[in-house]
Amino acid sequence: MTTLGVNIDHIANVRQARRTVEPDPVQFAFLAELGGADSITVHLREDRRHIQDRDVFLLKETIKTKLNLEMAATDEMLDIAKKLLPDYVTLVPEKREEVTTEGGLDVKNNVTYLKNFVGNLKDSNIEISAFIDPVGEQINYSKEIGFNFIELHTGKYSELTGQDQYKELQRIIESAHLANDLGIVVNAGHGLNYNNVKKIASINNMNELNIGHSIVARALAVGLEKSVREMKSLITSN
């Protein structure tokens, strides 16, 4: 059964817009868990534009599910991850000027560096995922580097419609099957919402979907616990 990871970065975005103490993403993580979230995802960015160091350490102490720390593959983040010891780390590309993560990590052209980085995390018994585009080469190199998981980037699928979206869905399905054949656990995320999530959730052996913006946007109307319950129902009704 596909599980649901809820990204709470957007709660922190609201807080940081006023540089105040509320809304507290740690409290909202509790509501997400009440709604059925199987894990909580946060992206600790280098510029700290939303999630703060204080948030990730409090989440580690208080959530009842799993903590997925998204981060760039930098020395600073490596040190934080080794102190925090999240349930798993997802390595993502990061540009300071971007609004949100715009594409997958290029593992193909960073094999040596990432092998050392991933090995260092594994020494602390942290499982590691790579956020990558649904491209065969990137999946094969993810296997070579030693990632336990991959998270397939669904942003392009989410932006397309009609036949173009169908073709992108097939590319994601083929990528998931390749990863499964290589023994890599498959997650997916980015841009998924209440209208497009079911086809991704129904892919064979899809492990987890990480969703944030659409759930938080829905929560403004119906409340966070209910919005998570609705998304969880869509994912698990296959």
- 7 has binding-site annotation: yes
Of 70, 151, 168, 208, which residue is the catalytic one?
A: 70
Does the annotation count 46 as an active-site position?
no
- 9 has binding-site annotation: yes
Which DSSP symbol is given to 125? T
Kindly compute the dihedral angle of the four CA atoms of residues 129, 134, 138, 141, in this order, to the nearest 10 degrees.
60
Calculate Rg over the CA atoms of the chain.
17
Which DSSP symbol is given to 110? G
Does the annotation count 43 as an active-site position?
yes
* Sequence-separated contacts (24+) of 42-45 with Cβ below 8 Å: 42/7, 42/8, 42/9, 42/12, 42/67, 42/68, 42/69, 42/70, 43/7, 43/9, 43/70, 43/71, 43/92, 43/101, 44/69, 44/70, 44/71, 44/77, 44/80, 45/72, 45/94
- 213 has binding-site annotation: yes
Question: How many CB atoms neighbour CB 55 within 10 A?
Answer: 22
Of 43, 151, 153, 208, which residue is the catalytic one?
A: 43
The residues that bridge with 4 in the sheet, in sequence order, are: 209
**Cis amide bond preceding 25, omega within 30:** no
- 48 has binding-site annotation: no
Of 33, 168, 190, 225, which residue is the catalytic one?
A: 190
Mark the binding-site residues for 1-deoxy-D-xylulose 5-phosphate, compressed into ranges.
9-10, 45, 50, 100
Active site (catalytic) residues: 43, 70, 190
Residue list for the binding site for 3-amino-2-oxopropyl phosphate: 7, 18, 191, 212-213
Which residue numbers belong to the known binding site?
A: 7, 9-10, 18, 45, 50, 100, 191, 212-213
